[in-house]
Homo-oligomer: A and B are copies of this chain.
Amino acid sequence: MRNIFVIGAGRSSGALIQYLLDHAEMLDAQVIVGDQSLALAEGKIGAHPRGKAIAFNIFDDTQRQEQIRKADIVLSLLPADMHFVAAKDCLTFGKNLVTASYVSKEMASLHEEVHQAGLLFLNEIGVDPGIDHMSAMEVIHRIQNGSGELTGFWSYCGGLIAPECNNLWGYKFTWAPRNVILAGQATAIFLEDDRIRYRNYMRLFSEITEIEVPGHGKFEAYANRDSIKYLPLYGLEGIKTLFRGTLRFPGYCRLWNAFLKLGLTDDSVKMQNSEGMTRNDFIFSFAPSSGGVNNRDTLAQFLGEPSTGEVMEKITQLDFFSDRKIMLQNATPAQVLQSILEEYWVLGEDDKDLLVMQHRFDFRQNGKSIRIISSMVDKGHDTTITAMARTVGLPMAIATKLILQGKITATGVVIPTLPQIYEPVLAELHELGIRFTEQQFEISESK
């Protein structure tokens, strides 16, 4: 019997473990799930006869090596910087490895050895990175095989909340809150009209793009880190525009820009006496100098927002103008903001999340300028089988099955830009309801 070893039973593991258990008999496999918390692992396995939960500590060398030695394939759901220790053991014991994380420099350095050993370390096979790579490459290869010449590529993704579960602010945390609070603090880089563009943090949430997803309405996007590295990854050298963006519901970026402009997302400075501050004290610590007068109106004026407008109303509804205490010691503004938002932006028991992805491809073919827009929206089933867990976990799980079945034969440290990987994975995601719909139309030259 085969042994599939899953490291980590956290937030995005639900759909992955369920899929593996559902296919365990077909694969003649046992699914071992290891987590620091035995209870968490047990919860994911339930009473399934082919599942086994163990308490597992990645830093316990003896235990880690024993489990990896016994495994046929290892799936790591650990934080990105912890994969490498498992990867080295996989190399030592000759095991394949699957992760949903970006290939680190350390991981990349193993490529030649992994390849020589005839092994596959498949990374970036979650949602973003993962489904974005696969769904984009499928279209890019189709265009290139049809002698189309790509002139522009835009790719957007966002982890959001189902509209019927939405709140006043258009966002709830479906992912690590701290990452949301600090999002974008590195300068974004992208290609536009043949020129590499740099957009610093202070501009990020005010220079946004609006897109429409058929059947789901409008979304707004802000630039997502370094898009330029996708030029070689996707074989897009020579393209004029390459832009990756993060999606939010309309209105979010304007509110976030107000937080940013005030300095509430600043994580570089600790506030004195933050624990004794009221929320009102907190927000007015960032007020402009205005001759001793500090009230909602001077704040609104500084932000360039109407006093009774949407942004000021959203800030007010977060109880920022109240005497409630902050209660955090020596906190940075970003930490205080996070603690306040976590009170209002948390998923409820009946909430369902939403994963939205859209690619736009502009290309010339047979003398015509053509645009393809490819969109995918997945809604979570419940708080365990969330859209985030489905879209991160199912590609990993499907790829694991395909590797065990010998249908993926690539070796080395690989990401899923190869047809032998993305074709069967996308086909099975389609069956599982994770589907892209395409619009294609001719565009005028001036667009």
Which A residues lie at the B interface, using CB under 8 A? 186-187, 189, 192-193, 195-203, 207, 209, 228, 260-261, 263, 266, 268-269, 271-273, 281, 284-289, 292, 294, 333
Determine whether the beta carbon of B272 is less than 8 Å from that of A198: no
Determine whether the beta carbon of B192 is less than 8 Å from that of A272: no
Cα of A289 to Cα of B193 in the assembled complex, Å: 9
Determine whether the beta carbon of A200 is less than 8 Å from that of B272: no
**How many copies of this chain does one complex carry?**
2
| CB neighbours of A200 from chain B (8 A) | 263, 266
| CB neighbours of A284 from chain B (8 A) | 195
21 A-B residue contacts at CB 8 Å?
Answer: A187-B268, A187-B269, A189-B269, A192-B289, A195-B281, A195-B284, A195-B285, A195-B294, A197-B286, A197-B289, A198-B263, A198-B285, A198-B333, A199-B263, A199-B286, A200-B263, A200-B266, A201-B202, A203-B261, A203-B263, A203-B288
| CB neighbours of A187 from chain B (8 A) | 263, 266, 268-269
| CB neighbours of A207 from chain B (8 A) | 288-289
Given the known inter-chain contacts A263-B187, A289-B207, please indicate yes or no for A269 contacting B333, CB distance below 8 A.
no
Cα of A294 to Cα of B196 in the assembled complex, Å: 13
Cα of A207 to Cα of B261 in the assembled complex, Å: 12
| CB neighbours of A288 from chain B (8 A) | 203, 207
Determine whether the beta carbon of B261 is less than 8 Å from that of A202: yes
Cα of A200 to Cα of B287 in the assembled complex, Å: 11
Shortest Cβ-Cβ A-B pairs, 5 listed: A200-B263, A202-B202, A187-B269, A193-B292, A200-B266
Cα of A201 to Cα of B260 in the assembled complex, Å: 11
Determine whether the beta carbon of A269 is less than 8 Å from that of B186: yes
Q: Which residue of chain B is the closest to A189 with respect to CB atoms?
A: B269
Cα of A399 to Cα of B230 in the assembled complex, Å: 61
Cα of A413 to Cα of B373 in the assembled complex, Å: 68
| CB neighbours of A292 from chain B (8 A) | 193
Q: Which residue of chain B is the closest to A263 with respect to CB atoms?
A: B200
| CB neighbours of A287 from chain B (8 A) | 197
| CB neighbours of A228 from chain B (8 A) | 272
| CB neighbours of A286 from chain B (8 A) | 197-199
| CB neighbours of A198 from chain B (8 A) | 263, 266, 269, 271, 285-286, 333
Cα of A200 to Cα of B43 in the assembled complex, Å: 45
| CB neighbours of A263 from chain B (8 A) | 187, 198-200, 203
| CB neighbours of A197 from chain B (8 A) | 285-287, 289
Least distance between A200 CB and chain B CB atoms (Å) = 4
Least distance between A310 CB and chain B CB atoms (Å) = 22
Given known contacts A186-B269, A195-B284, A195-B285, what 5 new A-B pairs fall within 8 Å (CB)?
Answer: A189-B269, A198-B285, A201-B202, A202-B261, A203-B263
Q: Which of B186, B272, B281 interacts with A268 by CB under 8 Å?
A: B186
Interface-central residue, A200, A272, A286, A294, by most chain B CB under 10 Å: A200
| CB neighbours of A261 from chain B (8 A) | 202-203
Least distance between A303 CB and chain B CB atoms (Å) = 11
Given the known inter-chain contacts A207-B288, A288-B207, please indicate yes or no for A272 contacting B202, CB distance below 8 A.
no
Cα of A333 to Cα of B196 in the assembled complex, Å: 13
Cα of A260 to Cα of B292 in the assembled complex, Å: 28
Q: Which residue of chain B is the closest to A286 with respect to CB atoms?
A: B198
Determine whether the beta carbon of B196 is less than 8 Å from that of A271: yes
| CB neighbours of A201 from chain B (8 A) | 202
Cα of A411 to Cα of B200 in the assembled complex, Å: 49
Least distance between A282 CB and chain B CB atoms (Å) = 10
Cα of A199 to Cα of B263 in the assembled complex, Å: 7
Least distance between A128 CB and chain B CB atoms (Å) = 22
Q: Which residue of chain B is the closest to A292 with respect to CB atoms?
A: B193
Q: Which residue of chain B is the closest to A207 with respect to CB atoms?
A: B288
Cα of A186 to Cα of B271 in the assembled complex, Å: 14
Cα of A263 to Cα of B284 in the assembled complex, Å: 27
Interface-central residue, A272, A273, A287, A333, by most chain B CB under 10 Å: A287
